[in-house]
Structure formats: C-alpha cells, structure tokens
C-alpha cells in the first residue's frame, strides 16, 4: 500500500486558498472545497443531468448510479451499511427527522430527553420543542469548569433518549462517546450522536460505530453545501415514520392512499440533492487518501501551537479544555471586555478569517459566562502560517477594539 501524501501538499488542491491571501480559521462553520469536488459538481450537470430512480434513459441511469454510489461511499466511510444511510439537507434536518419521526410517538409525558450542555442549537432546539409537544422534560448532562463532559455518565430513571455531540463546535471539547453510548445502551436508551464537528477530524470511535443514529453535514468535510447524512443503525431506520411526503419516497399511489418504499428511500421525499451527493464522494476520497489519523495528528500540532501562542497574550483567555489532546478543531477566546465581533472584523482586514458570537451554542457560553467569544478553528489544509498570522494580528486587534 502506498504511503499517504504529505499534508503540506493538501492545500494546493483548494482553489479558494491558492493565492495565500487568506488565513482560513473559520473551519468549524464550513470548510473550503477541493478542485475535485468542484469538478464533480460541474461534471454531474454536464454528463449526468437527470432525476434519479425513475428515468429509463442513459442520463437517468448515470444519475442514479452516481447517487446510489455516493450512498455506498458514505456508508463505507462511516462503517455503516448503504441501506442505513439517508441523505438530508444537513445534519439539522436529520436530527429533526429522528425527533419527529422516531421519538415523538414513543415519548411520554414525564419522561426525559438527555442532552449535554455542549450542544449546538441543532441538537438542542429540536429536543426542546419535542418536550414542549409531548410533556416530556429536558435533562442536562452537565460539564465541568473546563467545559468537559466526562464519565461516568448517569441518566435519570425517567430517561427515554440521549442526544449528544462528539465534539463541541463552540469550544472544541471531545466527548468520550464510546463511554456515553455504552452507558446509555446499558439502560436500553437509544442514542443520537451529532458527529458534524468530528467527521473528517477524528477517527471513528466505537461509540460512533455503536450509536443508534448519527448526523453530519457534508460542507464541514470539504463537500458541498446542502447535503447532510443521517445514519440509522439496523432496525432503527425502519422505525422512523416519514415526515415529508410526495414523489420518490412512494412505491405506488392510488386514489385512496400511498404505499411507501423501504428505508432509506422512504425518508427522501422529492428530488434529492443528486449533484451534491455525487460531489461528496471526492471529498471522502481525499480524506481517505491523506488519512484521518494523519489529519488528527496534524491538527493536534496546530492546536498546541495555537494554545501555546495564546498563553503569551495577556488580553485573552482560552475557554474550555486546557489540553490540546482534549480538543478537536476549535479554540474559543474570551477577550477581556473587547467586543468579539469588532475584533473579528479587524482580523478580517488583516486577512484572517475567524468567527465571533455564540456559535449556535448560546446556553453553553452563557453558562460558562464568557459569550460572545472569538473562535479560531483549524482544518486539514490549515498550516503554521495561518496560526502564526492569527497570533501576530490578535493583540493589536483586541487593543483596537477596546478603543473603537
């Protein structure tokens, strides 16, 4: 087997980063796309532009082959079976589908849905709304003073379901999802993991392989926007009731009603995102080519360099785990009273792209007492120049924001 290419060569494959004018450190929000993904999008519309499954001409056959081939490719990347993979618009839609189509009919008043304090709004608001509709309650899995969610994991007697992230998008905390899933399954509790910030950054752990449901978005993994994935393990997918109805998801329709197709197609009503699905394949190929283990090691070095540099800047403080080993991707900063949005704007003028705000994790940052924050987040194509450029520009940006 050939050795993977050096990660230093990866950046050359991303046209948006080719001229070196940008230090892209907003990768927790979305990643850039390699040329292979852009080419695949264009190629689909030129060579395979048709709807899937129904057409009996060569373009339709090519479109169907691309779409179902993408399903198999995603399954292989996630250690799943193809029939366990549902394409959605994004991770948010997948989580809502589980909340409405799987849990709502099973959840009773007085029961609880367990979520961690680390959650993105996408893995919090659907469960809040579900509890309102059913009379259930939300139970928080609490974090420590360093925003860590650590075993042993304990669930209340009335628990019915567990939803948790593997990596916090806001502060970068890695959750021991193997321990969490096994603790939940010991209580026969179904588990949904939001792996949006972990996929492509961390190797799959056993918890990810064992969870009942997984949700992710392609655009966080160098793939196109507008495509998400929901994985339902084994019989779990068959237990989800469709929430959207119409074409594609039906086997047959009469004047009296419809008969639905088997999963996963019954959960994919209407024309699917065929071109983004086809273009997601080269993004997954790229991740496998360079190796997620190597990407994790590379990002860990960058995170350590970032944390070491930040420790020398008096005007900022790091939110969350102190150790780089406990993090993936993101480092969130409190700025000692300087406005995070102003600092972010000043950094943008210096060619450094970061994120300012609550990062769709407002309850987390309000509990910690430090929001809004400034967040820098790395990706496989990030390099030491990006980190050093950010560290060099940050003190002046903070100082300038205080007097703006």
Q: Closest Cα to residue 380, out of 272, 277, 306, 302?
A: 302
Bond preceding residue 264 cis, omega within 30 of 0: yes
Cβ-contact 277, 71 below 8 angstroms: yes
Q: Can you tell me the distance from the alpha carbon of 13 to that of 5, in angstroms, rounded to the nearest whole number? A: 12
Per-residue burial over 135-146, b = 16 or more CB atoms within 10 Å of its CB, e = otherwise: ebeebebebeeb
User: Angle CA(55)–CA(60)–CA(66) in degrees, nearest 5?
Assistant: 135
Q: Can you tell me the distance from the alpha carbon of 2 to that of 69, in angstroms, rounded to the nearest whole number? A: 25
What are phi and psi for residue 144, nearest 5 degrees? -90, -170
Q: Where are the beta strands (DSSP E) in 211-338?
A: 213-217, 228-232, 250-253, 258-260, 317-319, 330-334
Measuring CA to CA, how many Å separate 69 from each of 108, 136, 267?
39, 40, 18
Residue 2 carries which DSSP code? Answer: P
Contacts of 174 (CB under 8 A, 6+ apart): 166, 167, 198, 202, 326, 327, 328
Let me know if 360 is a catalytic residue.
yes
Q: Which of 114, 164, 360, 370 is catalytic?
A: 360
Exposed, middle or buried, 378 (CB in 10 Å: 0-12/13-18/19+)? buried
* Residues labelled catalytic: 360
């Amino acid at each position: 087997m050939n050795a993977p290419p050096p990660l230093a060569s990866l950046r050359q494959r991303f046209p948006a980063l080719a001229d070196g004018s940008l230090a892209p450190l907003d990768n927790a929000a979305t990643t850039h796309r390699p040329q292979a993904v852009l080419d695949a999008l264009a190629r689909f519309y030129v060579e395979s532009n048709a709807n899937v499954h129904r057409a009996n001409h060569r373009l339709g056959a090519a479109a169907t082959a691309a779409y179902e081939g993408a399903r198999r490719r995603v399954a292989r990347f996630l250690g799943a079976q193809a029939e366990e993979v549902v394409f959605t618009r994004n991770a948010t839609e997948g989580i809502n589908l589980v909340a409405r189509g799987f849990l709502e009919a099973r959840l009773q008043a007085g029961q609880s849905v367990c979520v961690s304090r680390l959650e993105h709004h996408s893995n919090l608001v659907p469960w809040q709304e579900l509890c309102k509709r059913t009379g259930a309650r939300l139970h928080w899995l609490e974090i420590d003073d360093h925003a860590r969610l650590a075993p042993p994991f304990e669930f209340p007697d009335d628990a019915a379901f567990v939803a948790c992230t593997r990596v916090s998008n806001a502060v970068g905390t890695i959750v021991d999802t193997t321990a969490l899933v096994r603790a939940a399954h010991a209580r026969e509790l179904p588990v949904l993991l939001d792996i949006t910030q972990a996929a492509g950054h961390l190797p799959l752990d056993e918890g990810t392989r064992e969870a009942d449901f997984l949700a992710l978005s392609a655009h966080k993994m160098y793939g196109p926007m507008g495509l998400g994935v929901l994985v339902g393990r084994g019989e779990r997918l068959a237990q989800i009731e469709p929430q959207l109805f119409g074409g594609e998801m039906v086997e047959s329709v009469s004047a009296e009603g419809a008969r639905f197709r088997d999963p996963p197609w019954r959960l994919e009503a209407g024309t699917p995102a065929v071109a983004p699905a086809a273009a997601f394949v080269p993004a997954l190929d790229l991740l496998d080519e360079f190796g997620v283990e190597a990407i994790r090691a590379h990002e860990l070095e960058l995170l350590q360099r970032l944390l070491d540099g930040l420790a020398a800047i008096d005007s900022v403080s790091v939110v969350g785990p102190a150790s780089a080993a406990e993090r993936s991707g993101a480092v969130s900063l409190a700025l000692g009273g300087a406005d995070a949005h102003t600092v972010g704007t000043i950094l943008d003028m210096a060619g450094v792209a970061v994120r300012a705000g609550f990062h769709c994790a407002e309850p987390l940052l309000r509990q910690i007492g430090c929001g809004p924050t400034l967040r820098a987040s790395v990706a496989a194509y990030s390099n030491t120049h990006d980190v050093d450029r950010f560290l060099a520009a940050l003190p002046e940006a903070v100082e300038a924001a205080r007097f703006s």
